[in-house]
Amino acid sequence: MFDKFYSTIISVAIIVMIGLGIVAMIRSKNGKPYLMFVFGLVWFFVGLFNVFTGVNYYTTYSKVYGTLEQHDPYEDFNYFEYDLKDIAWYVDNNNYYYQTSYATSMEFDGTENEYTLLLNNKPCETSSTFGKLRGVQQIYFNDVDGTYKNTIGLDVNITFYASSISLKINTDATHESINLLNEYIKVNGFKLRIIDKVYSSFPLLSDSAG
Amino acid sequence: MYLKDNVTITTAYIDDATYSEDEKYFINLEYYSNAYSNGIECFGARWDYYTDTSIPDKKEDGSYGDKYTYSSGVQFKNGYTYSKYADTNNWNYSYSAFKMNDCTFYNTSNGVSFDATNSLEDMNHWVYDIDGQLCLIEEKGNINEYKTLWVDRGTKYDTSMLLCDLYDVVKSLPDGEQVITIDLSRYYNVFLFDGKEFDKGTPATTENWVFVNVYIYKTSNGLVSAKQSMFKSYMGNPEWSLYGTASENYWQANVEYNLTLKDFTFTYENGGYYLKLQTSCIDYLKEFKNMRLLVNLDIDKIYLGADKLNIEGFSSNAFGGLKIDTINLTSDSPCTFKVFDKKLNIQHSDNITLEYLEVA
């Protein structure tokens, strides 16, 4: 507020000084030619400015110089990806799960390195040790009126053997809520991504276990 | 099983299949053994091929392309019977094939959607490609030499025998993706393409052209959904599912993310120390959409440095523009927690008093 008042005072002062200068020139005998010269100069530059503006306006055109690419914040980091959009859930005592294995290998050391597990490009709460990686994610569903509908938890467990990778995904979805998860997968797909990077947190505060 | 000499079963990672002379697999198998008893047993075989009337143009690199034009296959359901037996009255062996009414045939010309049919396309026009050498197959043998239950579906006895042998092998394999090499000449005559036509005078016998790689996927899981199958269908039903695939609509799905003390740092303002999210945390979370950010803090455990200075509250821009769904504060002793943003949704234990401050 004080800044606005200050700039207003300055603007008024400048206008007053210009006005006083013009009055002085009009009253002075030899001032009128100088005044006419100043006015002529001002009109000349105003006219020139308008000509340039008009030319710019009517001759401007757009041109494509390149394309925007979706930024992948993890593109520079090693990652392993599983596309499970056709996932089919198995059932054990009203609990749904999925399991499979891959005849491939990946360098993994959960003790020396840190990893992030993303599910549909959203982070899981990830933990790892030796040859095991675990990621937990809760999906919170809202209905069209904004009210809470349900929450489904996903527990991803990946085991890295020398020549194969074992994957098991447990959910706490039941017969009643699995339909929500099916719709979620239909809309969003189901893509697992393991990246060799973790966002670091700095325990600056004491007892930072939280 | 007529496997390549000196090679019984090869196990390979598909991505590193340097052994393979033909990268387009002529025969593909899938077997859900249901050893885990969590679905149903299902065995399927698919042939990918050109036909002798639709050979694609040869490319500059000498190949005919990375993919075949057609696919045909057969899928057997749980409970099928299979046996081999010897006809002791005749030196010929008889094979009992899979039950006819327990299988479905599939054909496709676009490689994407399979149509269920009553029979395979005529195999005598199928062409496979090994390193740019096209090979036409022809079923051999006659009904008197081999007897099969396929007789009422036509004389597909060679294919029946091939499937019996392949099933024997698949059952003995471990789970996963594997490739084996088989000698096709036992089941089919193979004729080579000379650039203009197929030489049907003399069947090929050298292993270069008659030994083909068979891709196998095997799992101890059972089949629970049609979309698991390579035909994206089960017994002709692409919507089949053991547990149902009904879906329920919703408006929005947000992934929860819990922020705890380790995600925060401190700032000095208003004569005291206040909490704010670390910049690295804000930058990290800004990359994600549809997140439900939750904050859980035990105030009794928050103090700064060796002098154990108290934290006054949340700083004026504590969350860097991130939308926080709910903040949950707990404490065992009475305390005051200062907050600049009145719009924050803060749940707190009864002995915490919130004090709202104005931004200077």
Q: Look up residue A119 and give its two tokens.
A: 């599910």
Cβ pair A209:B288 closer than 8 A: no
Q: What is the mean pLDDT of residues A165-176?
A: 90
Q: Which of A135, A137, A121, A186 is nearest to B225 (CA)?
A: A186
- Is it the case that residue A66 has pLDDT exceeding 50? yes
Q: A35 in a domain, yes or no?
A: yes
pLDDT of residue A1: 61
**Phi and psi of B319, rounded to 5°?**
-115, 10
Q: What is the mean pLDDT of residues A55-68?
A: 68
- Count other Cβ atoms within 10 Å, centred on residue B215: 22
Alpha-carbon dihedral angle through residues B44, B50, B53, B55, given to the nearest 10 degrees: 170
Same domain, A145 and A45: no
Q: What is the mean pLDDT of residues B313-339?
A: 93
Q: A209 in a domain, yes or no?
A: no
- Is it the case that residue B205 has pLDDT exceeding 50? yes
**Phi and psi of B289, rounded to 5°?**
-105, 165
Does the CB of A93 have a partner CB in chain B at under 8 Å?
Answer: no
Helix (H, G, I), strand (E, B) or coil at B226: helix
Q: A71 in a domain, yes or no?
A: no
Least confident of A94-98, B95-99, B315-319: B95-99
Same domain, A95 and A25: no
Q: Look up residue B103 and give its two tokens.
A: 């299988």
Q: Are strands B264-269 and B27-32 parallel, antiparallel or unpaired?
A: unpaired
B26-53: pLDDT as tens digits: 999 999 999 999 999 999 999 999 999 8
DSSP 8-state class, residue B61? T
- Is it the case that residue A61 has pLDDT exceeding 90? no
Please say whether the beta carbons of A154 and A171 come within 8 A.
yes
Q: Give the residue on A whose Cα is nearest the Cα of B298.
A: A210
- Is it the case that residue A203 has pLDDT exceeding 50? no
Q: Which of A196, A154, A79 is nearest to B256 (CA)?
A: A154
Same domain, A50 and A141: no
Q: What is the separation of C-alpha B330 from the centre of its chain, rounded to a whole number of angstroms?
A: 46
Helix (H, G, I), strand (E, B) or coil at B74: strand
Interface test with B, best of A89, A92, A152, A193 (most B CBs within 10 A): A89
pLDDT of residue A8: 82
Same domain, A129 and A165: yes
Task: State how far residue B120 is from chain A, nearest Cα, in angstroms.
Answer: 27
Higher pLDDT: A14 or B165? It is A14
- Find the angle CA(A113)-CA(A119)-CA(A123) to the nearest 5 degrees: 60
Q: Of the candidates A125, A179, A203, which has its C-beta nearest B246's C-beta?
A: A179
B61-88: pLDDT as tens digits: 878 888 898 999 989 886 455 554 444 4
- Is it the case that residue A42 has pLDDT exceeding 90? no
Q: A129 in a domain, yes or no?
A: yes
Does the CB of A104 have a partner CB in chain B at under 8 Å?
Answer: yes
Q: A119 in a domain, yes or no?
A: yes
Q: Which residue has the tokens 């025969």?
A: B27
Q: Of the candidates B248, B262, B304, which has its C-beta nearest A179's C-beta?
A: B248
pLDDT of residue B3: 35
Mean pLDDT for all residues in chain A: 81
Burial of A47 (0-12, 13-18, 19+ CB in 10 A): exposed
Rounded CA-CA distance B86/B96 in Å is: 10
Same domain, A186 and A83: yes
- Is it the case that residue A65 has pLDDT exceeding 70? no
Please say whether the beta carbons of B4 and B183 come within 8 A.
yes
Q: What is the mean pLDDT of residues B196-222?
A: 88
- Is it the case that residue B303 has pLDDT exceeding 80? no
Q: What is the mean pLDDT of residues B330-351?
A: 92
CATH number for the domain harbouring residue A158: 3.30.530
Q: A94 in a domain, yes or no?
A: yes
B182-193: pLDDT as tens digits: 888 877 889 999
Cβ pair B13:A99 closer than 8 A: no
Q: Look up residue A109 and give its two tokens.
A: 């050391």
Q: A112: alpha, beta or left, given left = phi > 0 and alpha = psi -120 to 50?
A: alpha
- Is it the case that residue A100 has pLDDT exceeding 90? no
Mean pLDDT for all residues in chain B: 79
Q: Of the candidates A102, A104, A144, which has its C-beta nearest B251's C-beta?
A: A144
pLDDT-derived band at B19 (thresholds 50, 70, 90) equals very low
Q: Give the residue on B whose Cα is nearest the Cα of A122.
A: B288
pLDDT-derived band at B354 (thresholds 50, 70, 90) equals very high
- Is it the case that residue B150 has pLDDT exceeding 50? no
pLDDT of residue B85: 46
Same domain, A106 and A158: yes
Same domain, A100 and A191: yes
pLDDT of residue B35: 93
Q: Please list every residue in chain A whose beta carbon sits closer than 8 Å to the beta carbon of residue B38.
A: 90-92
- Count other Cβ atoms within 10 Å, centred on residue B230: 18
pTM of the model: 0.69
Q: A131 in a domain, yes or no?
A: yes
Q: Please list every residue in chain A whose beta carbon sits closer than 8 Å to the beta carbon of residue B284.
A: 199
pLDDT of residue B6: 33
Q: What is the separation of C-alpha A68 from the centre of its chain, rounded to a whole number of angstroms?
A: 14
CA distances from B147 to A121, B44, B156, B159 (A): 56, 22, 10, 12
Task: State how far residue B360 is from chain A, nearest Cα, in angstroms.
Answer: 13
pLDDT-derived band at B210 (thresholds 50, 70, 90) equals confident
Residue B95 forms beta bridges with which residues?
A: B84
Helix (H, G, I), strand (E, B) or coil at B38: coil
pLDDT of residue B4: 36
Same domain, A94 and A33: no
Residues of A numbered 124-163 whose beta carbons fall under 8 angstroms of chain B's beta carbons: which are they?
125, 137-146, 149, 151
Q: Look up residue A80 and give its two tokens.
A: 């392993």
Q: What is the separation of C-alpha B147 from the centre of its chain, rounded to a whole number of angstroms?
A: 37
Q: Are strands B324-330 and B291-298 parallel, antiparallel or unpaired?
A: parallel
CA distances from B196 to B56, B201, B314 (A): 13, 14, 81
What is the radius of gyration, based on Cα positions, of chain B? 33
User: Which residue range(s) make up the domain with A148?
Assistant: 79-195
Q: What is the mean pLDDT of residues A74-101?
A: 80
- Is it the case that residue B152 has pLDDT exceeding 50? no
Number of domains in chain A: 2
Q: Please list every residue in chain B whose beta carbon sits closer than 8 Å to the beta carbon of residue A209.
A: 260-262, 301
Same domain, A37 and A137: no
pLDDT-derived band at B306 (thresholds 50, 70, 90) equals low
Interface test with A, best of B11, B217, B248 (most A CBs within 10 A): B248
Q: Of the candidates B241, B264, B287, which has its C-beta nearest A205's C-beta?
A: B264
DSSP 8-state class, residue B78? T
Same domain, A191 and A108: yes
pLDDT-derived band at B337 (thresholds 50, 70, 90) equals very high
pLDDT of residue B148: 39
Same domain, A47 and A131: no
**Phi and psi of B285, rounded to 5°?**
-75, -25
pLDDT of residue B151: 35
Q: A64 in a domain, yes or no?
A: no
Ranges assigned E (strand) in B112-187:
115-117, 126-130, 133-139, 176-183
A106-153: pLDDT as tens digits: 788 888 888 889 999 898 989 999 999 999 999 999 999 999 999 999
Please say whether the beta carbons of B274 and B318 come within 8 A.
yes
B138-145: long-range pairs with CB below 8 Å, 24+ = B138/B188, B138/B189, B138/B190, B138/B191, B138/B200, B138/B203, B139/B187, B139/B188, B139/B189, B140/B187, B140/B188, B140/B189, B144/B92, B145/B92
Q: What is the DSSP string of B297-334?
A: EEGGG-EETTTTEEEEEE-TTTTTTPPEEEEEEE-SS-
pLDDT-derived band at B319 (thresholds 50, 70, 90) equals very high
Does the CB of B268 have a partner CB in chain A at under 8 Å?
Answer: no
Cβ pair A73:B38 closer than 8 A: no
Q: Which ipTM value was assigned to this complex?
A: 0.72
pLDDT of residue A13: 86
Q: Of the candidates A96, A123, A179, which has its C-beta nearest B288's C-beta?
A: A123
Least confident of B64-78, B156-170, B309-323: B156-170
- Is it the case that residue A171 has pLDDT exceeding 90? yes
Task: State how far residue B17 is from chain A, nearest Cα, in angstroms.
Answer: 12
Determine what percent of chain B is predicted with pLDDT higher than 90: 38
pLDDT-derived band at A200 (thresholds 50, 70, 90) equals low
Does the CB of B252 have a partner CB in chain A at under 8 Å?
Answer: yes
Same domain, A140 and A45: no
Please say whether the beta carbons of B81 and B148 come within 8 A.
no
